Copies of this chain bind each other. A is one copy, B any other.
Amino acid sequence: MKKFVNDPKSFVPEMLEGIALANPETLKYVPAYNLIMRADMPNENKVSIVQGSGSGHEPAHVMVVGKGMLDAACPGDVFAAPPMDYVYETAKLLNSPKGVLLLVNNYTGDRMAFDMGKEMAEADGVRCEILTVNDDVAVQDSLYTVGRRGVAGNFFVIKAVGAASEQGADLDELLRIGRKVNDVTRTMGVALTACTPPAKGSPLFELGADEIEFGVGIHGEPGRERRRLVAADQIADDLLDAVVSDLPYNSGDRVALMINGLGGTPISELYILYRRAHQRLAAQGITVGRSYVNEYCTSLDMAGASLTLVRLDDEIETLLHAPAESAIRVF
């Protein structure tokens, strides 16, 4: 394993400490619950917005804590939902008269931890609501799973509810907005290489030199199928077709287009995918109103990318345009 890591067991806390040291004025770190929170929260005039999920997806979610985004994140270990205790304590610490919105990516472990944590916090008088994100089209709806997974599209849900809550929206309004954004957001990912969890020390799966995992999950879960490595344009087309046909997005739609890097892929390659997706959408009569090309939701050091579309209307577009701040910044 070639990584910048000390003891794998301290990987997450050390990362969190680093984030806190780099943002002393804006963020607070509570080691007992892996908690990164805005230093100026809770605020009694604002709903608190919290997300948990496993670690290893950075910048999601600990690095998008900030004004106009999350008010707190309490991640679990790498790829493991946080223990319910973290959720419970975080909800209590972020308690606001306007309530606490708990964003949950749709995985069994995350849902259980947040359901249990919410029950406990409610017993202590904290008003909580859960909003589930499930944008991954790789998982065909099925009786068997908890349904589609929550992946990079959660950025848009966070951005929209974060912006609305800054403008004073109440908990019900945030639930409405969050569900609305989630409902028009779809993502599909592809892996070129496997990721290496620090505690495991070796790649999570094996991919041949000319193989890709189409529809991979952000925890390295196998996807729809193994395919042969093809040219970037073909991969962009395949991702786009899977996403466009799912909602579906139609000619005349205006969308946000995100190309998200999975951790090991340089931004130059993301723009190669972006170019093709943008051109192909245009050819289908779908207009890109806003573009996102960066890492948003990674899978450790996995080389790969995901493509997300959000169907825009005036309300969503205005919320996505609203100012926001976070620890992942350039300047």
Partner-B contacts on A (CB < 8 A): 2-6, 11, 14-15, 17-19, 21-23, 55-56, 58-59, 63-64, 159, 192-193, 209, 212, 229, 231-233, 235-236, 263-275, 278-279, 288, 291-296, 298, 300-301, 303, 305, 320, 323-324, 326, 328-331
Interface CB pairs A-B, < 8 A, 21: A3-B265, A4-B273, A4-B305, A14-B232, A15-B271, A17-B275, A18-B278, A19-B271, A21-B275, A21-B291, A22-B271, A22-B274, A58-B267, A159-B331, A263-B266, A264-B264, A266-B295, A266-B301, A268-B300, A292-B330, A323-B331
Q: Contact: A279 with B21, CB < 8 Å?
A: yes
Cα A290 to Cα B68 in complex, Å, equals 22
Q: A21-B279, A278-B21 are in contact. Are A5 and B272 (CB under 8 A)?
A: yes
Q: Contact: A330 with B328, CB < 8 Å?
A: yes
Cα A229 to Cα B2 in complex, Å, equals 8
Q: How far is the CB of A215 from chain B (nearest CB, A)?
A: 16
> With a CB–CB cut-off of 8 A, which chain B residues contact A320?
331
Nearest B-chain residue to A56, judged by Cβ: B268
Q: A209-B2, A272-B14 are in contact. Are A264 and B267 (CB under 8 A)?
A: no
Q: Contact: A18 with B293, CB < 8 Å?
A: yes
Nearest B-chain residue to A163, judged by Cβ: B331
Q: Which of B4, B209, B263, B278 contacts A235 (CB 8 A)?
A: B4
Cα A54 to Cα B59 in complex, Å, equals 28
Q: Which of B232, B271, B323 contacts A6 (CB 8 A)?
A: B232
Cα A231 to Cα B301 in complex, Å, equals 17
Q: Contact: A300 with B4, CB < 8 Å?
A: no
Q: How far is the CB of A218 from chain B (nearest CB, A)?
A: 12
Q: Which of B2, B192, B266, B274 contacts A18 (CB 8 A)?
A: B274
Q: Contact: B21 with A232, CB < 8 Å?
A: no
> With a CB–CB cut-off of 8 A, which chain B residues contact A323?
331
Q: Contact: B266 with A2, CB < 8 Å?
A: no
The 6 nearest A-B residue pairs measured at CB: A18-B271, A18-B275, A22-B291, A4-B232, A4-B269, A2-B192
